[in-house]
Every structure is written in structure tokens, then in C-alpha cells.
Amino acid sequence: MAKILGFIGSGNMGKAMMGGIIAAKVFSPEEIIVSDLNEKSLAAVNEEYGVQTTTDNNEAAKKADILILSVKPNLYPIVIEGIKDQVKEDVIVVTIAAGKAIEGTEEMFGKKLKVVRVMPNTPALVGEGMSAVCANEMVTKEELKEIVDIFESFGKAEVVSEKLMDVVTSVSGSSPAYVYMFIEAMADAAVLDGMPRAQAYKFAAQAVLGSAKMVLETGMHPGALKDMVCSPGGTTIEAVAVLEEKGLRDGVISAMRACTEKSIQLSK
């Protein structure tokens, strides 16, 4: 019998995941059930993906072999309290909320069960997500690979130690915001020098996309790739010198450390 994948919550992240999973044929639409109190949102995912839908979380909980809790962190206690006695005995519960440790999830369910904690990020919406995955001792290697395959259907995914999840929050979970700020700043500078704004955003965003792809596909050190662009006495090294003077590296490192610390506080 085919496994059933359940979602509680049908927001942007949930929809992004469904799209990738179905496109990659990890699960068929008939093998996915989605629960949400928002009937308009449910109608939208049903129309777009053809998945099963319900406004009853318990229905999804009873059917799902893998259950993804795709709701805001503050709703976890309420949602789990409502479904904890309805989930299958061998269900794999997948959490995707920041600050929700595996132990805390087990405590909310009031029992030991298979829990996989995942930190995805918003580029999953365009099939370029980065997800970190960790699990408790009840999850087998085969089951963990199954979860990794789900998250690799809309980007990249890697297994990490749970103690690194707060670092993951700063380096990939929250980092799209920093990158958007960088793109916006580059575009502002181009506009200041006369380029139309829409064109400036396109040039800046494509430069960031291409540069990231160079790092991933060449395997070269980012510093070496930077050096390839910097001709002696040229325009690029002039810009790099100013960025160093203004403290780009220190600003990024300090911001990420603050993000990691905040994640640690939320996990307590």
C-alpha cells in the first residue's frame, strides 16, 4: 500500500513543498492530504495540485504515514494537542518551524515517536531551497533518506547534527533576507548612476544568482573566485577595497552571530 504524506497547514512553504514533491514524483497528488482551517487556501491547493484536502486536522493525522507540521511556531502546541492521540503509532512527524527542538516536539506529543526536524528556507518557493535535516533515534536510516528525498525535490538538503540547527538558521534559514538587502543596495547604486530600477534589480539579482552557482558548481573557494574578477589596479578591486573599509565581512558575521543567538534563545 502506498504511503500517505500529510500536511497540516497550506501556506506558502507548504505549497512550495507540495509543488516540488509532485513535480519530482516523490508522491502523487492522490497520496497527499492537506489540512487547513482556511478553506480558500485549501481550495487553491486542490485546484493547483489535485491533492486531498480537509478542514479537520485529525483526518490528516489519522491517514498520514509522514506528517509535516507546516504551521507557525506559535501554533505548534495547539495543533499538536489536537492531533496527538490521532496520529499513527509509527508516523514520522516532520517539523519545519524555527526554534522547535526534537525533544520539545516529543514533550508536546507526550510520548516518544519518530520526529524529524527540518529547517528549510523561502527559496523553496522557486525550487532552490536549502534544507537542514536531523532526526531522533527512532527514525531509521531508510526513513531519514526518505525525508531528505522529499526536501531535495525543491532544492538541496543535508543531514546535520541538531546542535547545528541554530547555525543553520543564520546561514540559510534567515540569510535570504540579507541577500535581498544586498541586491537592493546594488540596485539602488545602479539607479543612482542612471539605470532604470527594474533593469537594475535584474542585473543585480542575476549577478548574485550566477555567482552562487559558480561557487556550487566549480567547488572553488569563494576567495579564489573573487580574485579571478579583480584585475590589478582595476574597477573591481577598487570596489572590494571600499567594501573592506566599510566592514562588509564584519557586518555580515556580526549579524549572523546575532541571528544564531536569537535562535538559541527561541529554542529554550
pLDDT in tens, the chain (268 residues): 679 999 999 988 888 899 999 999 999 999 999 999 999 999 999 999 999 999 999 999 999 999 999 998 889 999 999 999 999 999 999 999 887 899 999 999 999 999 999 999 989 988 999 999 999 999 999 999 999 999 999 999 999 999 999 999 999 999 999 999 999 999 999 999 999 999 999 999 999 999 999 999 999 999 999 999 999 999 999 999 999 999 999 999 999 999 999 988 887 7
CB atoms within 10 A of CB 147: 22
Separation in Å, CA 25 to CA 13, 149, 198 = 18, 11, 36
Give the span between the Cα atoms of 246 and 241, in whole angstroms.
Answer: 9
- Measured in residues, the chain has a length of 268
**Residue among 110, 257, 119 at smallest CA distance from 265:** 257
pLDDT in tens, 98-125: 878 999 999 999 999 999 999 999 899 8
**pTM score > 0.85 for this model?**
yes
Strand ranges in the chain using DSSP code E only, listed in sequence order: 5-8, 32-35, 52-54, 66-69, 92-95, 114-119, 129-135, 155-159
The predicted pLDDT at position 128 comes to 94
Domains defined along the chain, listed by start:
5-165 (3.40.50.720), 173-267 (1.10.3730.10)
Sequence-ordered alpha helix ranges (H) in 122-174: 141-152, 165-168
Separation in Å, CA 54 to CA 5, 60, 72, 84, 100 = 14, 7, 19, 18, 25
The predicted pLDDT at position 12 comes to 85
The predicted pLDDT at position 1 comes to 61
Give the span between the Cα atoms of 101 and 171, in whole angstroms.
Answer: 18
Give the span between the Cα atoms of 115 and 67, in whole angstroms.
Answer: 10
Give the span between the Cα atoms of 93 and 234, in whole angstroms.
Answer: 54
How many Cα atoms occupy the beta-carbon half-sphere of 212 within 13 Å?
A: 10
pLDDT in tens, 239-263: 999 999 999 999 999 999 999 999 8
Give the span between the Cα atoms of 107 and 7, in whole angstroms.
Answer: 21
Q: Which long-range contacts (CB under 8 A, 24 or more apart) does 225-231 make?
A: none
The predicted pLDDT at position 203 comes to 98
